[in-house]
Amino acid sequence: MQTLVHARNESRNFWLLATLGALVTAVGLGAAHLMEEHGHAITGMDNAVVWGLPHVFAIFMIVAASGVLNVASIGSVFGKPDYKKRAPLSGLLSIAMLAGGLMVLMLDLGRPERIVVAATHYNFSSVFAWNVLLYSGMVAIVVLYLWTMFERRFNAWSRPAGIAALVWRFVLTTGTGSIFGFLVARQAYGTALLAPLFIVLSFGWGLAVFLIVQATMYRWNGRHLEPALQRRLARLLGVFVAAALFLVAVQHLTSGYFARQQAFEAFILRDGGVYPWLFWGGYVLVGAALPLLLLFHPRLGGEGGMLAACLLIVLGAFAWLYVFIIGGQAFPLEIFPGAEVSSSFGDGQIAGYLPAWPEWLLGIGGLGAAFLLTVIGVRAFDFMPQDDLAAGGH
């Protein structure tokens, strides 16, 4: 009788969560339709800031989709059994977040029906064209990877599939960073450091997302993570956060070394209004310093401390992406070095940008789509990490 009641509660909770995810996704799709009908004039974007807040959501989900698969790679490629138990959930989250990010990305660019053109006519000199292949290839490889994990006859192929996924996600994240690094129309982005920076950022963001979802699933089932494994995961996450912070510092030091970039660095780090506040307060303090304190301090750690650190890392990721994407467009392009440019068109002026509510709804709708796919996947298949844990105890 108790088992029957538990099964009914599980079914009810599933439908509640699925309905919530579907409603959030529908709201995002409705916002995209509104922007399609009325144009981007109803958003905060203009001819200077053409990638707005939805791109912040999209790039976060795409980069984190690559990094969350790092858990599976550590298990299958490097033979760590504690991580291997988490590989299926890692693969599911990778597909779900990539789907949610691409949904936002395509709906925000305008004329989403023209995706057929991008899928059938390739311009191989364009980094965007490369990413069409990289994103679709990523989904195919992860699906194959999950198949080798669930189908016992193909378990022997799990490691080769894991190696393929590891290499592909490195290339995918490199391609995402190269979109900005090769963008000559925005001098704020042009650096080869963006490719390795995005790879390292993906490690921390992806692991933070994974630990949030895993903690939610454990609490849902009345379970707790083993303290020893929790400490290892916390240290690993801390290393990723510290490495990303170091590379961000190197990027700004490298950029500030060149005279043509010093005005931009002063804008981002000191004089740019909201952008310095988001960088120093949102990313450095909230997204890096506080999580490092929670992850490495012997008294502030624990399950709650690690979960709080993960949430702060995600908030810091959005802050950094906002500064990177929006701030990089808001600063005027220096077309004539050494000369002051002004016109009625606004040349040489810092662009103002304030995201409108349809942009917020579209970005949150992408998160809802990723959430919905995760809930359905967990319900349809056994993605719960197979630890030997006693319910309700450590």
pLDDT the model gives residue 391: 41
Contact 296, 238 (CB under 8 A): yes
Paired tokens of 170: 């490195």
189, HSE (Cβ side, Cα atoms, 13 Å) = 22
Between residues 156 and 201, which one has the greater pLDDT?
201
CA 64 to chain centre: 3
Helices 227-257 and 302-321 sit at what angle, rounded to 10 degrees?
A: 20
Integer Cα distance of 103 and 57 in angstroms: 10
pLDDT per residue over 53-88, tens digit each? 999 999 999 999 999 998 888 887 787 877 888 888
Q: Is the pLDDT of residue 52 over 50?
A: yes
Ordered by start, the domain boundaries in the chain are 13-380
pLDDT the model gives residue 393: 40
Single out the residue of 214, 269, 216, 219 nearest to residue 237, CA to CA: 214
Q: How far is CA 263 from CA 257, 259, 268, 335, 347, in A?
A: 11, 8, 9, 14, 16
CB within 8 Å of 106: residues ≥ 6 apart:
112, 115
pLDDT per residue over 115-150, tens digit each? 777 667 777 777 777 777 888 889 999 999 988 888
Contact 176, 201 (CB under 8 A): no
pLDDT the model gives residue 76: 79
Q: Is the pLDDT of residue 298 over 50?
A: yes
pLDDT the model gives residue 3: 57
Paired tokens of 178: 């190269």
* Torsional class of 141: left (φ above 0), alpha (ψ -120 to 50), beta (otherwise): alpha
Give the whole-number percent of the chain exceeding pLDDT 70: 89
pLDDT per residue over 179-204, tens digit each? 887 776 567 777 778 889 999 999 99
Give the whole-number percent of the chain exceeding pLDDT 90: 39
Mean pLDDT over the full length of the chain: 84
Judge if pTM exceeds 0.85: yes
pLDDT per residue over 305-355, tens digit each? 899 999 999 999 999 999 999 988 888 876 666 666 666 565 667 788 899
The DSSP-derived string for 11-65 is HHHHHHHHHHHHHHHHHHHHHHHHHHHH-GGGSS--SS--S-HHHHHHHHHHHHH
pLDDT the model gives residue 195: 87
pLDDT the model gives residue 342: 66
pLDDT the model gives residue 378: 87
What sign does the CA torsion over 177, 179, 184, 188 have? negative
Architecture of domain 13-380: Up-down Bundle (1.20)
Q: Which residue has the tokens 């310095």?
A: 276
Q: Which residue has the tokens 């660019």?
A: 109
Between residues 9 and 108, which one has the greater pLDDT?
108
CB within 8 Å of 297: residues ≥ 6 apart:
305
First to last CA, the chain: 27
